[in-house]
Each structure stands twice: as structure tokens, then as C-alpha cells.
A = this chain, B = another copy of it.
Amino acid sequence: MRDVAKRAGVSISTVSHVVNNSRPVSNSARQRVIQAMDELGYKPNALARSLRQQKTNSIGLIVPDSANPFFAEVARGIEDTSFDQNYSVILCNSDGNLDKQAIYTNLLIERQVAGILFVAAGVSTELVDDLHRRRVPLVIIDREIPNVSVDTVLTNHYQGGFLATQHLIDLGHLRIACISAGSELSPSAERVTGYRDALETSGIAFDQSLVVRGDFQYESGYHAAHKLLQKEAPPTAVFASNDLMAVGCISAITESGMRVPDQISVVGFDDVKLASFSNPPLTTIAQPKREIGELATEILLARIQDLDAPQRFERLETSLIVRRSTCKLKRN
């Protein structure tokens, strides 16, 4: 900038003002500055600017695994919206590991990010409090932190689980299995609760042995299905708490010589792109992934503008998408 000022024969502040349009500058001066800038290939140093202004245009995004299609799609929504608003995003993969998450949080604070987006992270109350104390804006996506006032965007997992199960019940199924994930952590747990309540609402007894635990990956759905098929009375339908596990499940079922949906119906959760193209196309519960990312980003940016605005809590609705992995129970 110094160089530009020199070459254009103006003061350094004049250059700054043409760069930022922050006050009137005579046409002649402006011309000379502009010319000098591109002769010298000048680009303003955002570090210096941010240091001076005490604000950056970066936000931190912490996800368990950016390669998981669900998170990847949410992340795209986030990145796109950020870009539109002139923010850039620093990507962090926590692998669900609390230590890694803490390290990243630290790193983001040191980098002076304007705010942080936590996706499906098991954020501890302490961490949230600490961030509060430091006045770091944050929004939590896809998970509810109990007893803490923090902006949150998530889908109605419970409703989704209910919807999925109800669909299976409507098709006449009685032995409906469930592939859960994680532990008591909210997204999966709520889906399972929805499953359970749907069952009970229809007077079908909940059978703990029909719920098997996975971890949201293809493999775990595959293994879960194997377990289920080995039972004396295998289920006639399966609700997998995400699409990847549903696909893994279908893979195992098919491999063992049975047919989906003729012999076993399968419904997933998320409505990842793949769901439309799996074989058979997957009946699933759709979450508005992009919107989640977009909305969360908007809320974060609003929070950055006004740290003291009232807390926001957005619970988005899910919807059932019927494709071809489910059908009426065929009575023998």
C-alpha cells in the first residue's frame, strides 16, 4: 500500500479510501491510485485489516466428518451462504473426538474467527459457556444441548423416526427392526424414540432385541442387517436411522439371497442424493440439508451482528419420501 501511495503520489490514507470507498476522493487521484494498484498488482492484506478492525471474515466449521454425504451437503449450504456474504470458512473435522474438537475450537479462537458452527458435535456445556464468556458467536447444528441458551438449527428427528415407522406400520408390518447409532446422543436417539412411539401408538409392543446399534456408516448397516437376519424370527421391515446404513443393510439382505422390498422393507433417513439411485431406490425421511446449512449460517451472521439478540431455536420438519424399498407386507 505504501508503494501504491508513493507511485500514485498520494497519501497512504487516500489509497485506503479508494480501496474501501470510505470517503470521497477526487477523480484524478482515484485514477492514479487505481492505475498504480494494478501496475503493482496490489492486493490488500486482509490480516492487517482484520487486526486493525478487530473483526475477521472467517467462520469456523466443525463437523464430525466432512466426507459423510449428509455433513458434506450441509457444509455446502454453509460454504455457499458464507461466500455470498463475503465470509470464508475454515473446515475442521472432529471425528467425533472431544479433544480434537477442543483443539480446533482453540485454534479457531486464536485465528479470531467471527463465529463458529458446530455440526452434530457433542458440545459440552463448559465449552459453550467458555465460548459465551469469550463472546464468540456460535450456532449448533443437528444436535440439542440441554439447559444451554445457544442458537440451534436441527430437524425434528423424532417426527422423522415416527413417520418412517408409521409408514412401515401402514404397510402392515409388525416386526419392524431399527438400526440406531451413537448412544444417548440426540439425533439418533430421537429418531429411535419416534420409532418406538409409533410402534406403541399402534399397539405394537416394542422389542429391544429388534434394535441394533450402528454408527451411521455403510458397514455398520451391513453388519446390523446380518445380525437381524440371523434371528429366529427376522423382521419384515427395517428402519435404519440414516441412508448409508439403509444402503448397507440392503446390501447385506440382497447378498443373503433375500429381496428388498418383497421380503424385507427398508426405510432410511436423510434423503442423501444416493437415495434416489440406490437399487431399489430408497424410501426415506428427507431432511432439508442445504437449508439447514443456509439457515444456520444466516443465524450465525446475524448473531455476529448482534451478540445480544434473543436466542434462536429452529426445528425443521422432515418428510417421508416413498420410493421402492418398501412395500406391503406379504402374508404367508
Contact = CB atoms under 8 A, between A and B. Distances in A.
Interface of A: 41, 43-48, 50-51, 56, 58, 61, 65-67, 69, 72-73, 75-76, 79-80, 83, 88-93, 106-107, 109-112, 130, 133-134, 218, 222, 247-248, 250-251, 254, 273-274, 276-281
A260 to B, nearest CB: 8
Nearest to A89: B91
Contacts of A83: 92-93
B92 A88 contact: yes
A313 to B, nearest CB: 26
Contact of A254 (B69, B75, B279): B279
A310 to B, nearest CB: 26
B90 A47 contact: no
Given A88-B90, A91-B79, A43 B106 contact: yes
A286 to B, nearest CB: 16
A107 B110 CA distance: 20
A269 B100 CA distance: 33
A272 B106 CA distance: 33
B88 A76 contact: no
Contacts of A65: 76
A110 B79 contact: no
A90 B90 CA distance: 4
User: How many subunits of this chain does the assembly comprise?
Assistant: 2
Contact of A107 (B41, B88, B130, B251): B88
A306 B250 CA distance: 51
Given A75-B66, A279-B278, A47 B93 contact: no
Given A76-B65, A109-B43, A110-B43, A277 B88 contact: no
A67 B56 contact: no
B110 A273 contact: no
Given A43-B109, A69-B72, A90-B91, 4 more contacts: A58-B111, A65-B76, A67-B76, A247-B277
A248 B222 contact: no
10 contacts: A41-B134, A43-B110, A46-B112, A67-B76, A79-B91, A88-B107, A88-B111, A247-B274, A247-B278, A279-B279
Contacts of A80: 93
A139 B273 CA distance: 30
A254 B276 CA distance: 13
A58 B90 contact: yes
A56 B58 CA distance: 14
